[in-house]
């Protein structure tokens, strides 16, 4: 678990994750030997293949560079060093126990690391509203640089001056600090997106240029879709040399070739164009067929009154005759008699999005009022409006899409998902992530007992759900208005010290290493036992979603979790030879199907572990024994 990941992280280099990606996609260009366990990329073989395929190499180009970039790359390849604690008190409520929506309270970098295991290539849409680094939004680079100076020097081949420059971003709000903060989060976010997925990122002038370069590097310039300028305010401020009334939304695809990008609902003015009604009651608007400027086809057409029109026409003669035969031509009468095509409202796919969105998509002021109406007081200064998020959802989602927001803030994204589902009957699901950032002691939120941002986020979701249910009572039993809540936390230092031990040592010198991971000992709410936390963390690490069914099986008085008819988790302080015998007999007699047994190594001594291993090796069917620390 944590110890294994800490040991792995020690070996991670800035290029580790990149090499892993290359190994997955280009395994034929890697070589290895018995003396060197680490596979090496064969550059000479790769360059030869490029020449054979007539692929030209780019001899020079531009790349983004900033202080801390190598450290940010290393972070992109590291594994989580936290545990996932289920909020049982919340999750066992009727409205939440079967919900497909998820909310994580914790560091979003750690949450994204966990999600690599069970949500890779699974998310349809990501929307984030990260810190803008305005100088007044409270952003500072949060990393503690958990490695010693000597370790950092060795990892990144730094001298004293270079080390000092890299550590200079700690606790700062420079451009380099912001980029170092964003790089690993964006990198890991890309990996959970589907190939058809899209990411939307809100930003303002302070970091817009840097974010564009960062996205180009991680997602690729060819994956850029558009940069939306959104007018965020109803009123124009009369301060400074130039009034700032807009923000940006950068839009990128995971793979532009597989992109599924939608359209926006037609505006009121566009809908008014469909003012004609066909004989069957279907609404349509007129499309131009006769156009002297753009028409490219000339042929005679006889009008209903016998007049001859020679064009030029927008369609071929064959197409015109086909449309006329199928009653898709609308003829005007009177002196300006001419044909138009019928463009039916029912066939409209919506409006193609442009790159300027006005106040019709909502503003910060209106968004603040939305929050105020839910809470009865203004708790957020600059939230995003639900109407803006719903418009983005229209572009990026289908009715069953999964949406991720790992800077949840006031949870507008979750509210928008629920509202959109209520309107079109969709089954969209969301994953929200929010750091338990403390509210300021002089703030309205603090005075209202909302001591951290994540508590506001979760309360917003619950209040918005109640509002939608009250307005749409028929949806109560058909829509998912709940969410499952998890804390992602780092154990206290005392527990961390106990995790770092020699596997061969006797374990009786340690305290109970299961209860150390209970919600009480981890200082979070939810009534989770240590077993709940360890099991949940293991399940995610093994690729299981959060709704996987877990059965508890009894082996001579000790109950163990059994998952997916193939995996047993041995997490107990009470394991004996009698339990080993009962487990192995059940497998040997085909009473249960087991492919892997995962052992929590802190609770079983080496003798018992060897005894279990020997017994499993005698079975006819192979059972993998996996010991974790």
**What is the C-alpha separation between 532 and 515, in angstroms, rounded?**
10
Helix (H) or strand (E) holding 201, with range, is strand 193-203
**Quick one: fold of 69-260+352-488?**
Rossmann fold (3.40.50)
How do residues 237-254 score in pLDDT, each as one tens digit? 777 778 889 999 999 999
Q: How confident is the model at residue 474 (pLDDT cuts 50, 70, 90)?
A: confident
Residue-level pLDDT at 509 = 46
Query: How far apart, in Å, are the Cα atoms of 32 and each of 10, 49, 462, 524?
Result: 22, 19, 54, 46
Name, of 28-32, 176-180, 306-310, the range with top average pLDDT. 176-180
**What is the C-alpha separation between 163 and 377, in angstroms, rounded?**
47
Strands 193-203 and 123-128: parallel
Q: How confident is the model at residue 286 (pLDDT cuts 50, 70, 90)?
A: very high
Residues 124 and 194 sit within 8 Å (Cβ to Cβ)? yes
Q: What is the mean pLDDT of the chain?
A: 90
Residue from 554, 625, 613 nearest 583 by CA: 554
**Rounded mean pLDDT, 375-397:** 92
Taking only Cα atoms into account, the Rg of the chain, rounded to an integer number of angstroms, comes to 30
Please indicate whether residue 57 or residue 15 has the higher confidence score (pLDDT).
Answer: 15
Residue from 408, 454, 453, 409 nearest 431 by CA: 408
Residue-level pLDDT at 266 = 83
Residues 87 and 528 sit within 8 Å (Cβ to Cβ)? yes
Q: How confident is the model at residue 164 (pLDDT cuts 50, 70, 90)?
A: confident
- Which regions of 34-143 does DSSP assign to beta strands (E)? 36-41, 83-86, 102-106, 123-128
**Rounded mean pLDDT, 48-52:** 72
Buried b vs exposed e over 135-149: b needs ≥16 C-beta within 10 Å?
eeeebebebebebee
Least confident interval from 135-139, 220-224, 414-418, 622-626: 135-139
Residue from 393, 541, 440 nearest 138 by CA: 440
Residue-level pLDDT at 555 = 97
Instruction: Rounding to the nearest 10 degrees, give the CA dihedral for residues 470, 472, 477, 478.
Output: -140
Q: In this model, does residue 143 exceed pLDDT 80?
A: no
Instruction: Give the residue range(s) of CATH 3.40.50.150 domains in the chain.
Output: 69-260+352-488
Q: How confident is the model at residue 37 (pLDDT cuts 50, 70, 90)?
A: low
**What is the C-alpha separation between 34 and 173, in angstroms, rounded?**
47
Residue-level pLDDT at 36 = 58
SS3 label, residue 212? helix
Where do runs of H (alpha helix) occur along 329-385? 364-375
SS3 label, residue 78? coil
Residue from 285, 294, 280, 286 nearest 338 by CA: 286
3 state SS for 409-442? CCCHHHHHHHHHHHHHCCCCEEEEEECCCECCCC
Q: In this model, does residue 156 exceed pLDDT 60?
A: yes
**What is the C-alpha separation between 545 and 535, in angstroms, rounded?**
12
Q: In this model, does residue 113 exceed pLDDT 90?
A: yes
Q: In this model, does residue 322 exceed pLDDT 50?
A: yes
Helix (H) or strand (E) holding 7, with range, is helix 2-11
**What is the C-alpha separation between 28 and 315, in angstroms, rounded?**
52
**Rounded mean pLDDT, 551-563:** 97
Q: In this model, does residue 507 exceed pLDDT 60?
A: no
For the record, the structure tokens of 188 come out as 């890991």
For a pLDDT cut of 70, what percent of the chain falls above it? 94
**What is the C-alpha separation between 474 and 477, in angstroms, rounded?**
7
For the record, the structure tokens of 456 come out as 């506001």
Residue with tokens 């300028």: 229
**Rounded mean pLDDT, 511-521:** 92
**What is the C-alpha separation between 403 and 390, in angstroms, rounded?**
12
**Rounded mean pLDDT, 203-223:** 95
Least confident interval from 16-25, 176-185, 466-475: 16-25
Check: pTM over 0.75? Answer yes or no: yes
Q: In this model, does residue 341 exceed pLDDT 70?
A: yes
**What is the C-alpha separation between 443 and 377, in angstroms, rounded?**
11
Query: How far apart, in Å, are the Cα atoms of 593 and each of 71, 141, 541, 617?
Result: 44, 49, 21, 15
How do residues 69-89 score in pLDDT, each as one tens digit? 999 999 999 999 999 999 999
> φ, ψ for residue 371 (rounded to 5)?
-65, -40
Residue from 60, 62, 72 nearest 109 by CA: 72
> φ, ψ for residue 102 (rounded to 5)?
-130, 145
**What is the C-alpha separation between 160 and 174, in angstroms, rounded?**
21
SS3 label, residue 29? helix
**What is the C-alpha separation between 343 and 2, in angstroms, rounded?**
61
Residue with tokens 């031509």: 329
**Rounded mean pLDDT, 450-460:** 96
How do residues 409-436 score in pLDDT, each as one tens digit? 999 999 999 999 999 999 999 999 999 9
Q: In this model, does residue 532 exceed pLDDT 60?
A: yes
Please indicate whether residue 626 or residue 241 has the higher confidence score (pLDDT).
Answer: 626
**Rounded mean pLDDT, 138-155:** 72
């Amino acid at each position: 678990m944590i110890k294994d990941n800490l040991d792995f992280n020690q070996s991670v280099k800035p290029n580790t994750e990149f090499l892993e990606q290359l190994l997955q996609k280009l395994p034929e260009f890697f070589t290895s030997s018995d003396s060197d366990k680490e596979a090496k990329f064969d550059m000479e073989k790769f360059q030869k293949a490029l020449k054979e395929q007539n692929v030209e190499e780019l001899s020079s180009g531009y790349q983004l560079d900033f202080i801390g970039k190598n450290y940010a790359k290393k972070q992109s390849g590291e594994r989580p060093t936290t545990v996932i604690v289920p909020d049982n008190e919340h999750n066992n409520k009727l409205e939440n126990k079967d919900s497909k929506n998820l909310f994580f309270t914790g560091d979003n970098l750690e949450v994204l690391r966990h999600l690599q295991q069970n949500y890779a290539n699974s998310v349809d849409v990501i929307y984030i509203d990260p810190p803008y680094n305005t100088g007044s939004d409270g952003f500072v680079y949060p990393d503690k640089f958990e490695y010693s100076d000597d370790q950092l020097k060795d990892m990144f081949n730094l001298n004293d001056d270079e080390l000092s420059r890299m550590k200079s971003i700690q606790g700062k709000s420079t451009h380099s600090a912001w980029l170092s903060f964003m790089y690993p989060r964006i990198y890991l976010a890309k990996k959970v997106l589907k190939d058809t997925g899209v990411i939307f990122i809100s930003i303002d002038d302070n970091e817009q240029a840097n974010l564009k370069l960062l996205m180009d590097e991680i997602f690729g310039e060819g994956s850029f879709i558009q940069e939306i300028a959104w007018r965020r305010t109803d009123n124009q401020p009369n301060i400074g040399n130039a009034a700032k009334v807009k923000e940006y939304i950068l839009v990128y695809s995971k793979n532009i070739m597989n992109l599924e990008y939608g359209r926006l609902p037609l505006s009121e003015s566009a809908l008014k164009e469909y003012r004609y009604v066909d004989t069957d009651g279907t609404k349509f608007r007129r499309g131009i067929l006769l156009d002297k400027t753009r028409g490219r086809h000339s042929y005679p057409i006889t009008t209903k009154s016998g007049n001859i029109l020679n064009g030029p026409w927008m369609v071929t003669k064959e197409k015109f005759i086909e449309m006329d035969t199928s009653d898709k031509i609308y003829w005007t009468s009177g002196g300006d008699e001419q044909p138009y095509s019928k463009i039916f409202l029912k066939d409209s796919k919506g409006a193609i999005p442009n790159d300027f969105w006005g106040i019709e998509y909502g503003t910060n002021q209106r968004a603040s009022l939305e929050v105020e109406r839910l809470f009865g007081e203004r708790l957020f200064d600059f939230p995003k409006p639900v109407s803006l998020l719903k418009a983005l959802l229209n572009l990026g989602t289908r009715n069953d899409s999964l949406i991720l927001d790992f800077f949840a803030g006031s949870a507008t994204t979750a509210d928008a998902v629920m509202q959109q589902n209520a309107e079109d009957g969709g089954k969209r699901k969301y994953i929200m992530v929010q750091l338990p950032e403390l509210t300021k002691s002089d703030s309205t939120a603090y005075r209202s007992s909302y001591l951290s941002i994540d508590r506001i986020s979760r309360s917003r979701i619950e209040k918005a759900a109640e509002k939608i249910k009250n307005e749409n009572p028929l949806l109560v039993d058909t829509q998912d208005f709940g969410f499952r809540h998890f804390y992602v936390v780092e154990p206290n230092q005392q527990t961390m010290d106990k995790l770092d031990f020699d596997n061969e040592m006797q374990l009786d010198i340690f305290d109970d290493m299961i209860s150390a991971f209970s919600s009480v000992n981890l200082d979070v709410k939810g009534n989770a036992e240590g077993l709940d936390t360890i099991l949940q963390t293991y399940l995610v690490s093994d690729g299981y979603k959060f709704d996987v069914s877990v059965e508890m099986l009894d082996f001579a008085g000790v109950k163990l979790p059994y998952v997916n008819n193939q995996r047993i988790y041995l997490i107990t302080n009470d394991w004996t030879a009698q339990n080993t015998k009962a487990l192995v007999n059940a497998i040997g007699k085909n009473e249960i199907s087991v492919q892997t047994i995962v052992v929590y190594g802190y609770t079983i001594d080496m003798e018992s572990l060897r005894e279990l291993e020997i017994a499993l090796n005698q079975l006819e069917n192979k059972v993998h024994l996996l010991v974790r620390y």
